[in-house]
Amino acid sequence: MNLKETTIQLKKELELLKSNYLEQEKPAHKRDKDFFLFVKEKTNPVFQLNESWETLAAEHVKNRNVRVHPQQVASTRENMDLLLMHSYYIDVKRKRYMELYQSVQYVCDLILEDFQ
């Protein structure tokens, strides 16, 4: 996949995570092995997508094909990783979650604008 396709897919996953955060109840036991395995199964593909996105985005930043800075790419990767966990464990306040969400959304939108 190229950066544009990967960014679009990342945004789709971001929306699913947000829905999960807003609609799901907190887990009864955060240390429950079955819940951990469920989260791991659900999040592994998104972690891999996020890693691929970071690699592609960093290459485009290096070649000056997009208007974002290297630090924005790294921060977006970290924020997406945080959102992945917070979306299942529901262990952060809504305001903080939405700040992370909007930050990832913003950088993805900047990248997609550069492909228009």
Indicate which CATH number applies to the domain containing 56: 1.20.120.440
Domain span holding position 48: 3-114
Per-residue pLDDT of the chain (116 residues; tens, 9 = 90+): 899 999 999 999 999 999 999 998 888 787 888 989 999 999 999 999 999 999 999 999 998 989 999 999 999 999 999 999 999 998 899 999 999 999 999 999 999 999 88
Which residue, among 25, 11, 31, has the nearest Cα to 83 in the 3D structure?
11
- Secondary structure class of 68 (helix, strand, coil): coil
Give SS3 for 25: coil
Do residues 3 and 61 touch, judged by C-beta distance below 8 A? no
Alpha helices in the chain, H assignment, sequence order: 3-23, 33-62, 70-89, 94-114
Among all chains, which residue has been given the structure tokens 């109840």?
A: 25
Number of domains in the chain: 1
DSSP letter for 64, please: T
